[in-house]
């Protein structure tokens, strides 16, 4: 027979055991609930950022189209009109030369309109693959004739993630916008690759560079903030290297796809 003291100790041990068990269950449920809530919040934040990015890409597209219509296509059409109006039928040879010039200007205008038509496809351009979308962005950058761009695709992309591709594409636009506005660069190197289940994007310029401590207030501080925020939202990392007079290197590593 158990003594009253032994019974008390047994009951105490069993009670402690059940209290610990209940505490573990409550703690596990609490941790699970917090993780689930954090996952839901992260998902909502990702969707909000994705929508914001879609709007920004559309706005950037409209700005590009507006500028090109005014500065390029409008100029080509004006030159075509001037050329045609200056034709003098009394001199057939000169008239033919001007007609040929007008036809050439018209062909260039059609080519530019086709490029704009492709740009209007927006997300369809992204769906054709990130490397192709980046290449198309570079084509527009090179049209200005101010930059020598070296674009390297390190590996073949056998997978894709349209949502991440859109965010990565917008990050690249942010980097290039900062380069155009602040770097005074003449050369830009872009490397894109996918290895070890990570996408790697490197953008390097030979511009004036900057002190990292000054970045929040100068040199496109909001752009750098968005680059970091969106990269971290995808579970990635961003490293920025810059010094005055040495240019800037931005490296992104993002889980992919």
- Model pLDDT for residues 7-16, shown as the tens digit of each residue: 777 778 888 8
What residue numbers bound the domain in which 47 lies?
A: 1-120
Given a cut of 70, whether residue 35 has pLDDT beyond it is yes
Q: Residue with structure tokens 């492709």?
A: 118
- Do 139 and 113 reside in the same domain of the chain? no
* Domain-terminating residue out of 88, 120, 152: 120
- Do 31 and 148 reside in the same domain of the chain? no
Question: What mean pLDDT comes out for the span 114-132?
Answer: 71
* Domain-terminating residue out of 120, 141, 157: 120
In whole angstroms, what is the distance from residue 173 CA to residue 41 CA? 27
In whole angstroms, what is the distance from residue 247 CA to residue 65 CA? 30
Given a cut of 80, whether residue 60 has pLDDT beyond it is no
- Do 151 and 45 reside in the same domain of the chain? no
Question: How does DSSP classify residue 73?
Answer: I
* Domain-terminating residue out of 120, 152, 173: 120
- What is the number of other CB atoms lying within 10 angstroms of the CB of residue 208? 17
- What is the number of other CB atoms lying within 10 angstroms of the CB of residue 53? 20
Find the distance separating the first CA and the last CA of the chain, reported in whole Å: 67
Given a cut of 70, whether residue 257 has pLDDT beyond it is yes
Q: How many separate domains does the chain show?
A: 2
pLDDT digit string (tens) for 63-112?
A: 767 767 766 778 778 888 888 888 887 888 888 888 888 888 888 888 77
Give the model's pLDDT for residue 219: 47
Question: How does DSSP classify residue 86?
Answer: T
Find the CATH number of the domain harbouring 168: 3.30.565.10
Question: How does DSSP classify residue 212?
Answer: G
In whole angstroms, what is the distance from residue 174 CA to residue 224 CA? 8
Nearby residues of 203 by Cβ (< 8 Å), 6 or more positions away: 172, 175, 176, 179, 188, 189, 190, 249, 250
- Do 146 and 91 reside in the same domain of the chain? no
Residue 125 lies in a domain: no
- Do 27 and 86 reside in the same domain of the chain? yes
- Do 28 and 151 reside in the same domain of the chain? no
The two tokens of residue 2 are 């158990």
pTM: 0.67
- Do 187 and 234 reside in the same domain of the chain? yes
Question: What mean pLDDT comes out for the span 170-193?
Answer: 91
pLDDT digit string (tens) for 188-231?
A: 999 999 988 999 999 999 999 988 776 544 444 567 888 998 99
């Amino acid at each position: 027979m158990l003594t009253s003291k032994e019974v008390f100790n047994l009951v105490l041990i069993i009670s402690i055991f059940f209290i610990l068990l209940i505490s573990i269950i409550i703690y596990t449920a609490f941790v699970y609930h917090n993780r689930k809530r954090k996952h839901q919040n992260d998902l909502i934040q990702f969707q909000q950022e994705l929508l914001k990015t879609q709007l920004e890409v559309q706005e950037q597209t409209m700005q590009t189209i507006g500028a090109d219509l005014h500065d390029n296509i409008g100029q080509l059409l004006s030159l075509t009109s001037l050329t045609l109006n200056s034709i003098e039928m009394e001199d057939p040879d000169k008239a033919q030369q001007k007609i040929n010039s007008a036809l050439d200007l018209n062909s260039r205008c059609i080519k530019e309109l086709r490029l704009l038509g492709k740009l209007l496809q927006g997300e369809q351009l992204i769906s054709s693959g990130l490397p192709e979308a980046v290449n198309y962005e570079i084509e527009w950058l090179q049209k200005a004739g101010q930059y020598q761009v070296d674009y390297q695709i390190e590996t073949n992309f056998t997978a894709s993630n349209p949502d991440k591709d859109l965010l990565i594409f917008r990050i690249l636009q942010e980097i290039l916008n900062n380069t155009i506005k602040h770097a005074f660069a003449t050369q830009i190197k872009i490397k894109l690759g996918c290895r070890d289940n990570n996408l790697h994007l490197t953008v390097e310029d030979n511009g004036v560079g900057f002190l990292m401590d000054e970045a929040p207030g100068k040199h496109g501080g909001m752009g750098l903030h968005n680059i970091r925020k969106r990269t971290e939202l995808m579970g990635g990392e961003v490293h920025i290297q810059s010094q005055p007079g040495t240019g800037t290197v931005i490296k992104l590593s993002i889980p992919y796809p």
